Amino acid sequence: MLSVAEARQKIFDLLTPVTTELIPITMAGQRITAQNIYANLTHPPAHTSSMDGYAIRYKDKDHYNHFEIVGSIPAGSIFSKTLQAGQCVRVFTGSFLSHECNCVIMQENAELSEDKKTVQFHEENSQSGQFIRPQGMDFKLHDLLIEKGELLTPRHIALAAGGNNPWIEVSVKPRVGILTSGNELAMPGAPLSAGHIINSNLPMIASLISAAGGEPVMLTPLQDKEEDLIALLKQQNRLDLLLTLGGASVGTYDLVKTALEKAGGHIEFWRIAMRPGKPLFAGNIGSVPVIGLPGNPVSAFVCSVLFVLPALSFITGQKSGLEPLIEQGVITVDWPANNTSFLLHIRSQLDISPQNGHLFTPFKNQDSSLMNVLKKSNALFLHYPHHAPIKAGSACSLIDLTRLHL
Ligand SMILES: Nc1nc2c(c(=O)[nH]1)N[C@H]1C(S)=C(S)[C@@H](COP(=O)(O)OP(=O)(O)OC[C@H]3O[C@@H](n4cnc5c(N)ncnc54)[C@H](O)[C@@H]3O)O[C@H]1N2
Ligand code: MOO
């Protein structure tokens, strides 16, 4: 059976990066940059005041009791004169300053004369350059602001926009088809007959795809009927990735793999040495890569973390963010040996505090159908194959799901 790393590499080999598109900066939030973004101007464009007050020549500070006010620079305007000895100019936060203005005194430390033509400063310790943002302090023309492959968070959007980039080249959102099947499944809210359970995987995986920057394409849920599966699979040629859910195992009604082959598709591998998620398969139908997720909700979720999110990163060229990061945490309870050849992903509650660091507690019931345990789990503890029992207080590997916003 393949290891997780081998299976992930085989999935990458099936994938093709999406194309790119040019979109307005106002629409570019949460997208992945397809090109480096550069500064089209310098920011700030000039020396600017960071306070409301008066700008002076610092060298005049100790030589004058009263400074003559020779002008005012409201935001959006330019001061065209050059300050002479003993002169000052009224400034506001963001005012552009000429080069000889190298000290700003806050208005709280200034006393205007009655005729408002002069001002006296009561500030002992003013420094040269105080309350002045030098030209280009943030970035300079042609500076690299954001690299290709970065996720555009609101922080990135501020920088790209501030660098005067009205249009951004981004990766097209990958269209990810989601195909659920099973006679027992009814969508939330649909009439329920005896023997039915709710199709929770479809909403779960759709929300996971959206959260990861993809466009979920929810295909009509099917019954366990091979001909219907074949017909639907044959139509899927406009997707960047197809996820099937359920029917991946060995039961009489686990038809998805054979349906894929009969529809003209190909299975690259089936089964991996992990739990939950052992029956995962991957392949393709025409140009569309297919990942076959197991039907148990927890298995589908864990496989999505380990395989679907990295696949989306690969397709969009995202450099970091969706890869599950393996960290260390300290287990709070004794945990039995892993006597299997499977890498176990144990659902756990992780608590991070400055006093205790990363402490985690696995849930006792690790059944892969339990959505309630999954909801409470913010971490997956990696229990390696053939590992001895673990004592409380030992350091272990884990994946912090909150880092993936899951
Ligand atoms: N004899 C064996 N039986 C099973 C094996 C095995 O190796 N030998 N593997 C087990 C493992 S591990 C898993 S995981 C499951 C996966 O099976 P399938 O991928 O074939 O999934 P189904 O049989 O279709 O469903 C499993 C389980 O999940 C429920 N389910 C399915 N789809 C949904 C959905 N969209 N929303 C909510 N719940 C869903 C389904 O009702 C079943 O209860 O196989 C084991 N069996
Ligand atoms: O691997 Mo299954 O996914 O253990 O429930």
| 320-377 residue pLDDT tens | 878 899 999 999 999 999 999 999 999 999 999 999 999 999 999 999 999 999 999 9
Assign domain 4-19+172-316 to its CATH superfamily.
MoaB/Mog-like domain (3.40.980.10)
Stretch 212-222: mean pLDDT: 96
ipTM above 0.85, yes or no: yes
| The model's pTM | 0.91
Best of 179, 249, 270 to mutate for ligand 1, by most ligand atoms within 8 A of CB? 249
Is the separation of the CB atoms in 54 and 91 below 8 Å? yes
Residue 118 near ligand 2, beta carbon < 6 Å: no
Q: What ranges do the domains of the chain cover? A: 4-19+172-316, 22-39+141-171, 48-133, 326-400
> Of 223, 217, 289, whose CA–CA distance to 256 is shortest?
223
Beta bridge partners of 78: none
Cα gap 159→92, rounded to integer Å: 23
Rg (CA), the chain: 31
Residue 30 near ligand 1, beta carbon < 6 Å: no
Percent of the chain with pLDDT over 70: 100
Structure confidence by residue, pLDDT tens digits, 38-68:
999 999 999 999 999 999 999 999 999 999 9
Ligand index nearest the alpha carbon of residue 294: 1
Provide the pLDDT for residue 88.
98
pLDDT at 150 over 80: yes
- Quick one: tokens of 130? 């105080």
Is domain 48-133 given the CATH code 3.40.50.300 in the classification? Answer: no
Is domain 22-39+141-171 given the CATH code 3.90.105.10 in the classification? Answer: yes
Report how far ligand 1's centroid is from the alpha carbon of 248 (Å): 7
Fold agreement (4-19+172-316, 22-39+141-171): no
Is the separation of the CB atoms in 38 and 142 below 8 Å? yes
What ligand 1 atom has the least distance to the C-alpha of 254? 20
Provide the pLDDT for residue 272.
97
Provide the pLDDT for residue 366.
98
Cα gap 348→364, rounded to integer Å: 9
pLDDT at 269 over 80: yes
Provide the pLDDT for residue 323.
85
Ligand 2, atom 4: closest residue by C-alpha:
276
Provide the pLDDT for residue 219.
97
Best of 296, 346, 365, 370 to mutate for ligand 2, by most ligand atoms within 8 A of CB? 296
The CATH number of domain 326-400, selected from 3.40.640.10, 2.70.98.10, 3.20.20.80, 2.40.340.10 = 2.40.340.10
